[in-house]
A and B are shown apart, each in its own frame.
Chain A
Amino acid sequence: MEELVCMHAEYIQNFGSSSPEFKPSWLNPPAFQDYPASFKKALVDDDGVGRANWHLLYRKKDIQACMDQIRCVHYDEEISIYDCLCIKASSSGFELGASNWVISGARCLSYFSASDLTSGHSMALNVASHIKSEVFLFSDLKSNNTDGYDEDLTSCSVKGICENKDKDYPVETKSLSGRCCGGVVHDLLEVSKVVLETILFRGSVLVLVNGIGELMETLEVISQALDNSNLSDVPLFFVSPVAEEILVYTNTIPEWLSAERQEKLYAGEALFRHVELLQQGRLHQLSALCSQETVKVWREPCVVFALNWGLRMGPAIPLMLKWRQDPRCLLVMPETGMTRLALAPFQPVQMKVLHYCRRKLGEMEVSAIIEKMKPELFLVPETMKGEFPSLGDSDSRASRNDIVFYNMWDILTIPAPRYTEADMMAEVACTVHPRQLDSGHSVGKVKVRIQQRGGKWLLDLPKLSQESDDALTEKETICWGTVEVTKLMDILQGNGLCCELHSEGHRNNSEHRIVVTTPSPATVELGLQYTIIETNDLVLRKLITDAVRSLLTFI
């Protein structure tokens, strides 16, 4: 973020600040009138505001304020959100600190972002910490679907370059003339091969990377490759306003790194090789390209590392402008599917372009995870539908209904279980006076205090102070059964009451009315599901109540 702000400052420095409202004049609504219709349409969305909604970039103090609000967590640290949810980060293996998340409440859900089973830098994908999850949500999967790629990129693969290795240099340039050449590789070793080749032909290399872990690994692999070819004198540059911080920081985070790198900690070595490279003076950390320091150490051919900002700002721009016409030079950048757009301002590009793409989880890996973890349900992006034949269509699994494909903006409802597991304190269980029923059930009533702790339900005894407050609810009872008129009459008469049965006048036999005359007047109305006692004599009422109660099942 800080780098972005720095670069924005640089941008303003170079091109001047825009209008006082921080909005370029061509985006002000009055100016729209003069634009051609198609341009206007692109600027203004349906709501009439659209892209004219130009946002200010945040500043350094905004970053600070934002970071202050962030609570840092460790991998596998369970964090309770207001006690109703529990969330947990687990390593995804994609970048330093990159996480998949487990969210548990009534259900347990795992969210998989871009993940990598094996990683050269950060801690590898941790599948085991998802063991309790019922629902897996996968996103950012590797797609074999190449529709989105630029045509001229796919037409020329890295193999082409490698095969050309032994041929004369001019031949290669000819074949590539006027076109940007590229391919997608997934292996850093392949990248280093191409880099090496470029260096051998005295070309310089610009390596753009997305993440810091990736940067460190690329740096290591390329420097190793150079070492192996006795090219140790080729300078390496890392250009970023925050280069120093990044390099120092990455050497202090053993807990977040892969097992091999953790071994380095135990051996008392630096976690990444860049420490050694810095000491040897082979790697230079530059805060900016145009500084005195740069002038002193700059030497070509060289390998420049920078963070990827879509070739729109940052140190990559001057270097691109410098090298784009040089067919000896090489640009290594992450594959985004937007290459043509990214390179557009630099056309015609003569330099070679190589795409490096981190391995992500694909169909194979997802299937393996599903097989191992056996979640109740797993969700995969709709775009991957065609790539899950083994899960979606095959005969053996034709019946499986645990896979759901989702689209952007879809709201999927996952049914909540009717019953949730809860913990009941033993003290509560002791207060239950169960009643054995004929059906084999034991039933008891109890008053409990319901609490949530970290997404789990806990039933505890109410505190004494709270008990008195809720005197009303305590009396809530359930009872069932039917009062048999004759039995009730017997009991009442047995208690010396003078009573009469009036069944007539009611619609069916199940409704009765008992009229008591002595000691005081009272009526009892009976039905299948109700009993109504009407009397002004409290003693009598108690007596009748007891009689009726004895015929019903109460809890």
Chain B
Amino acid sequence: MIKTLVLGAGHEVGKSCVVLMIGGKTIMFDCGMHMGYHDDRRFPDFSLIPKRGDYTQSIDCIIITHFHLDHIGALPYFTEICGYEGPIFMTYPTKALAPLMLEDYRRVMVDRRGQQEQFSVLQIHDSMKKVTAVDLKQTISLGSDIQFRAYYAGHVLGAAMFHLKVGESTVVYTGDYNMTPDRHLGAAQIDRLKPDLIITESTYATTIRDSKHARERDFLQAVHKCVTNGGKVLIPVFALGRAQELCILLDDYWERMNLKAPIYFSAGLTMQANVYYKLLIAWTNQKVKDTCITRNTFDFKHVSVFDRSQLNAPGPCVLFATPGMLSGGLSLEVFRLWAPFEQNMVVVPGYCVPGTVGYRLVTGKTVTLDADKRIKLEVRCQIHHLSFSAHTDAKGIMDLLRHVSARHVILVHGEKPKMALLRTRIISELGVPCFVPGNGETVEVPSRLVLKVLASEKFLTKSQSNSLQTSIKSKVDDVSAPKRHMEDVSLSSIHDIRSAIIIMDKEKTIQVLNPEEALNVLNVSQHNFLYRCRLPLYISGMNDKDFNAPEVFDRGPTEGNEISGKELMKPSKKCCRGIQEFSGFQQQYDLEDKDAENELIWAERKEQENELELEDKGAENERIWAEHKEQEGIPHSVLEAMVQTVYKHLVKQLGDIVCYKQDNCIVANSVCIKISSEKTQSGTENKAQYIFTCTWSGQDEELARQIISILHMMQIASQASA
């Protein structure tokens, strides 16, 4: 069972924190804080975590998806104040950029708001020291049970989705992701992992967004218009992520349109962030990577650092100010100054948490704003809401879910009514159970159960080479486009169905074996349980001439299409054994007893036989047989020709059943038809009587009947022709 305890981001956006309990292991995904609250509700309620001593003992590891505060904000609190000492994992960029975010937040809280700090600078650094950085797709093993791997998630630099495997249970936790590439990041990429459970964000559970290109154009035009009219543009952003994307966009536009109005970045912090971005080019999209040799995209030409003295400077400008959502700090301060003027504009990019000024602006509820309890502020400036979120939209969520094809879905990080709608959609369209737990709730889903067994090499490789080659071939053919990765095709499994014997011994070791191997292990030998039927065939009007002339067939027909691709073995003794082994039986037909009317004796198992002896015996038998026939007065060749005719006929009729000929026997699966001739007493010279002795084992009942009826038909046909 996989138990999912949602500590945060249940029915809300903010303080993401999900605790998974699988097979005695506890893993925490994200450790975020809520931007909309300033009381206890700002952090996840860690006390709900099932206790095994302190937090370090209770939690095996923490995995952080990206550096946004609603995913990492509570980490220093949890490690330094709650005292968690265990391993923490995040990607390299997250580890590099998270301290910036945390420090920025701490400063805003303390310096501007005058609140008591939740954690100190030192604590942030101590907390980050406990972090192990991971690379994308790197498989990390923690102990023998926990394994996880990061996948590119887009969203922000270094954002990752995580695939977690505990024992045989698999979970994908998406964090925030974006299915469409933006100016500096690529789209999320993940394999078809078919996990037991996927926990996905659902910020835009119902929104379907139009093309990004149009939105970019609108944004640029709005800014351009405002600036040419002498207005000031305020873009409240968080230091990392959106700021860089919009900066690339504007810098590019300024270059193209040859605009002169200054673009400012608030505080050195955001400039410092650009240094990190330059180092972490490998985590951006291909275009940025390709151009980084000639010009690093994060070397902005038109962007300069903002100085507080420019606050009241006249003339147009564009200002990126932290924090986003206008939740306080410089951005709110500037907003208060600029908002009352009509020519100015505020661009609110992306999502705003309820409770922030940004949220109220976007929802358009008030034009008057009591930004500071005492002062009523009239907002006259233009407000441009840029649905420019780095979150995927509803279509993206569905695409991802369909691609990953998990067996259960849990939605977090969204608004309750929208999540409910999305849930209905998932259940109806994807047909998988979907849960929308609130904070503090636990969801249990069954996980895949797998038994460890020992399969014999023989069992696994039997006919594997065959199926393997064809499937590899088909896969190779699949890869028409050279850029397509192997992975895309490799999951269509190499498989093949066969029956296995499962043996569990006293030590409870389970072995999976071939039937013949099972007999060996159990130290018994196969009992051949057979049926026999004799079918006399009277063929009149056939003499030596008829047979010897054109009707003698070589093995030609065996190579015909009727055999449908299955490799036909040459009818030699050795190969017969091969085929018999293939069909699961080791048999040997031996013509031993002259008197006992061509009776078939099932010889002993092949392993116990001496091959040389066999060959001799076979040769000897052939000679005896020939002599025997001569004695009976029917030339050997006539009988052989008869066998040929019947064989040819059967091959034709049976289609793709492997059928081969050995001496006077025709063998198909376990059915053996032995053809012998008898001296006829009727006196007519041209009339020969043959006896078909069919022997088969129970499993080939149908085939045997089919063959017998074919032989019957032959008889009727031949009689008719006579």
CA distance A84 to B496 in the complex (A): 14
B71 contacts the other chain (CB 8 A):
no
The 4 closest A-B pairs by CB, nearest first: A426-B449, A475-B699, A480-B524, A77-B137
Q: Kindly identify, within residues 90 to 133 of chain B, every residue whose CB is under 8 Å from any CB belonging to chain A.
A: 92, 95-96, 99, 128, 133
Say yes or no: A532-B455 contact (C-beta < 8 A), given A447-B500, A449-B496: no
B490 contacts the other chain (CB 8 A):
yes
CA distance A13 to B630 in the complex (A): 89
Checking B276, B282, B526 against A478 with a beta-carbon cut-off of 8 angstroms, the contacting residue is B526
Q: Are B449 and A481 in contact (CB under 8 A)?
A: no
Interface residues on A, range: 35 or more
Q: Mark B271-305, 1 if CB is under 8 A from A, else 0.
A: 01001101111100000000011001000000000
Instruction: Select the stretch in A133-141, A157-165, A413-421 that faces chain B.
Output: A413-421
CA distance A426 to B450 in the complex (A): 5
Instruction: Select the stretch in B320-328, B436-444, B514-522, B555-563 that faces chain A.
Output: B514-522
Listed in ascending order, the chain A residues whose CB lies under 8 Å from chain B are: 68-69, 71, 73-84, 88, 106, 131, 244-245, 248-249, 251-255, 262, 265-266, 268, 270-271, 416-426, 429, 432, 434, 437, 439-453, 457-460, 462, 466-467, 469-470, 472-483, 527, 529-534, 536, 541, 545, 548-549, 552-553, 555
CA distance A473 to B278 in the complex (A): 62
Q: Are B460 and A534 in contact (CB under 8 A)?
A: no
B494 contacts the other chain (CB 8 A):
yes
CA distance A469 to B656 in the complex (A): 13
Could you jot down 20 A-B contacts, CB within 8 Å? Answer: A71-B485, A75-B135, A75-B138, A76-B135, A245-B293, A418-B457, A426-B448, A429-B451, A441-B503, A442-B503, A443-B502, A443-B518, A445-B500, A450-B464, A450-B496, A472-B699, A476-B499, A476-B583, A530-B529, A531-B528
Say yes or no: A478-B483 contact (C-beta < 8 A), given A84-B468, A265-B92, A473-B498: no
CA distance A457 to B498 in the complex (A): 14
Instruction: Tell me how far the C-beta of A231 lies from the nearest C-beta in chain B, rounded to whole angstroms.
Output: 30
Say yes or no: A470-B497 contact (C-beta < 8 A), given A262-B133, A421-B454, A529-B525: yes
Say yes or no: A432-B128 contact (C-beta < 8 A), given A252-B280, A532-B530, A552-B529: no
Q: How many residues of B contact A (CB 8 A)?
A: 94
B72 contacts the other chain (CB 8 A):
no
Instruction: Tell me how far the C-beta of B81 lies from the nearest C-beta in chain A, rounded to whole angstroms.
Output: 22
Listed in ascending order, the chain B residues whose CB lies under 8 Å from chain A are: 92, 95-96, 99, 128, 133, 135-141, 149, 168, 272, 275-276, 278-282, 292-293, 296, 448-457, 460, 464, 468, 471-472, 475, 482-483, 485-487, 490-491, 493-506, 510-512, 515-516, 518-519, 521-534, 583-584, 602, 604, 669, 695, 698-700, 703
Say yes or no: A248-B526 contact (C-beta < 8 A), given A266-B96, A478-B515, A534-B534: no
- Point out the residues of chain B lying under 8 angstroms from A419, CB to CB: 454-457, 511
Checking A429, A459, A529 against B455 with a beta-carbon cut-off of 8 angstroms, the contacting residue is A459
- Point out the residues of chain A lying under 8 angstroms from B485, CB to CB: 71
- Point out the residues of chain B lying under 8 angstroms from A252, CB to CB: 278-282, 292
Using CB atoms, name the residue of chain A closest to B524. Answer: A480
Checking B95, B475, B502 against A434 with a beta-carbon cut-off of 8 angstroms, the contacting residue is B502
Instruction: Tell me how far the C-beta of B608 lies from the nearest C-beta in chain A, rounded to whole angstroms.
Output: 11
CA distance A78 to B448 in the complex (A): 22
Checking A106, A459, A527 against B453 with a beta-carbon cut-off of 8 angstroms, the contacting residue is A459
- Point out the residues of chain B lying under 8 angstroms from A466, CB to CB: 497
Checking B272, B293, B453, B483 against A249 with a beta-carbon cut-off of 8 angstroms, the contacting residue is B293
Say yes or no: A532-B501 contact (C-beta < 8 A), given A268-B272, A426-B448, A545-B698: no
Q: Are B490 and A83 in contact (CB under 8 A)?
A: yes
Using CB atoms, name the residue of chain A closest to B136. Answer: A74
Q: Are A457 and B455 in contact (CB under 8 A)?
A: yes
Using CB atoms, name the residue of chain B closest to A462. Answer: B497
Instruction: Tell me how far the C-beta of A275 lies from the nearest C-beta in chain B, rounded to whole angstroms.
Output: 10
Total inter-chain residue pairs, C-beta < 8 Å = 277
Using CB atoms, name the residue of chain B closest to A65. Answer: B482
Q: Are A434 and B495 in contact (CB under 8 A)?
A: no
- Point out the residues of chain A lying under 8 angstroms from B518, CB to CB: 443, 478, 555
- Point out the residues of chain A lying under 8 angstroms from B515, CB to CB: 476-478
- Which of B452, B485, B490 has the most C-beta atoms of chain A within 10 angstroms of its own C-beta? B490
- Point out the residues of chain A lying under 8 angstroms from B583, CB to CB: 476
Instruction: Tell me how far the C-beta of B388 lies from the nearest C-beta in chain A, rounded to whole angstroms.
Output: 26
Q: Given contacts A477-B698, A531-B527, could you give 13 more A-B pairs where the C-beta distance is less than 8 Å?
A: A69-B482, A77-B138, A265-B96, A268-B272, A419-B455, A421-B453, A422-B452, A472-B700, A475-B698, A478-B518, A480-B525, A532-B532, A532-B695
- Point out the residues of chain B lying under 8 angstroms from A78, CB to CB: 139, 149
Instruction: Tell me how far the C-beta of A91 lies from the nearest C-beta in chain B, rounded to whole angstroms.
Output: 11
- Point out the residues of chain A lying under 8 angstroms from B522, CB to CB: 437, 439, 441, 443, 480
Instruction: Tell me how far the C-beta of B694 lies from the nearest C-beta in chain A, rounded to whole angstroms.
Output: 10
- Point out the residues of chain A lying under 8 angstroms from B528, CB to CB: 529-531
CA distance A249 to B281 in the complex (A): 9
Q: Are B460 and A422 in contact (CB under 8 A)?
A: yes
Instruction: Tell me how far the C-beta of B286 lies from the nearest C-beta in chain A, rounded to whole angstroms.
Output: 12
- Point out the residues of chain A lying under 8 angstroms from B500, CB to CB: 445-448, 459
Using CB atoms, name the residue of chain A closest to B138. Answer: A76
Q: Are B457 and A420 in contact (CB under 8 A)?
A: yes
Q: Are B279 and A265 in contact (CB under 8 A)?
A: yes
CA distance A224 to B396 in the complex (A): 52
- Which of A252, A423, A451 has the most C-beta atoms of chain B within 10 angstroms of its own C-beta? A252
- Point out the residues of chain A lying under 8 angstroms from B534, CB to CB: 534
- Point out the residues of chain B lying under 8 angstroms from A81, CB to CB: 486, 490
Checking B503, B511, B531 against A532 with a beta-carbon cut-off of 8 angstroms, the contacting residue is B531
Instruction: Tell me how far the C-beta of A48 lies from the nearest C-beta in chain B, rounded to whole angstroms.
Output: 36
- Point out the residues of chain A lying under 8 angstroms from B533, CB to CB: 534, 536
CA distance A429 to B502 in the complex (A): 9
Instruction: Tell me how far the C-beta of A517 lies from the nearest C-beta in chain B, rounded to whole angstroms.
Output: 17
Checking B453, B497, B510, B602 against A447 with a beta-carbon cut-off of 8 angstroms, the contacting residue is B497
Checking A244, A425, A482, A530 against B602 with a beta-carbon cut-off of 8 angstroms, the contacting residue is A530
- Point out the residues of chain A lying under 8 angstroms from B525, CB to CB: 480, 529
Q: Are A531 and B497 in contact (CB under 8 A)?
A: no
Q: Are A426 and B451 in contact (CB under 8 A)?
A: yes
- Point out the residues of chain B lying under 8 angstroms from A255, CB to CB: 92, 133, 135, 282
- Point out the residues of chain A lying under 8 angstroms from B137, CB to CB: 73-74, 77
Instruction: Tell me how far the C-beta of A505 lies from the nearest C-beta in chain B, rounded to whole angstroms.
Output: 9
Checking B451, B495, B524, B699 against A477 with a beta-carbon cut-off of 8 angstroms, the contacting residue is B699
Using CB atoms, name the residue of chain B closest to A466. Answer: B497
- Point out the residues of chain B lying under 8 angstroms from A417, CB to CB: 457
- Point out the residues of chain A lying under 8 angstroms from B141, CB to CB: 131
Checking A80, A426, A479 against B487 with a beta-carbon cut-off of 8 angstroms, the contacting residue is A80
Say yes or no: A74-B526 contact (C-beta < 8 A), given A448-B497, A452-B494, A474-B499: no
Q: Are B499 and A473 in contact (CB under 8 A)?
A: yes
Q: Are A448 and B498 in contact (CB under 8 A)?
A: yes
Instruction: Tell me how far the C-beta of A413 lies from the nearest C-beta in chain B, rounded to whole angstroms.
Output: 14
Q: Are A82 and B472 in contact (CB under 8 A)?
A: yes
- Point out the residues of chain B lying under 8 angstroms from A79, CB to CB: 486-487
- Point out the residues of chain B lying under 8 angstroms from A71, CB to CB: 485-486
- Point out the residues of chain B lying under 8 angstroms from A416, CB to CB: 457
Q: Are A423 and B168 in contact (CB under 8 A)?
A: yes
Q: Are A420 and B293 in contact (CB under 8 A)?
A: no
Say yes or no: A68-B483 contact (C-beta < 8 A), given A252-B292, A424-B451, A529-B602: yes
Using CB atoms, name the residue of chain A closest to B528. Answer: A530
Using CB atoms, name the residue of chain B closest to A251. Answer: B279
CA distance A453 to B490 in the complex (A): 9
Q: Are B138 and A83 in contact (CB under 8 A)?
A: no
Instruction: Tell me how far the C-beta of A534 lies from the nearest C-beta in chain B, rounded to whole angstroms.
Output: 4
Q: Are A424 and B282 in contact (CB under 8 A)?
A: no
Q: Are B527 and A76 in contact (CB under 8 A)?
A: no
Checking A69, A83, A478 against B494 with a beta-carbon cut-off of 8 angstroms, the contacting residue is A83
Q: Are A425 and B455 in contact (CB under 8 A)?
A: no
Q: Are A76 and B457 in contact (CB under 8 A)?
A: no
- Point out the residues of chain A lying under 8 angstroms from B475, CB to CB: 82
Q: Are A434 and B504 in contact (CB under 8 A)?
A: yes
CA distance A451 to B492 in the complex (A): 10
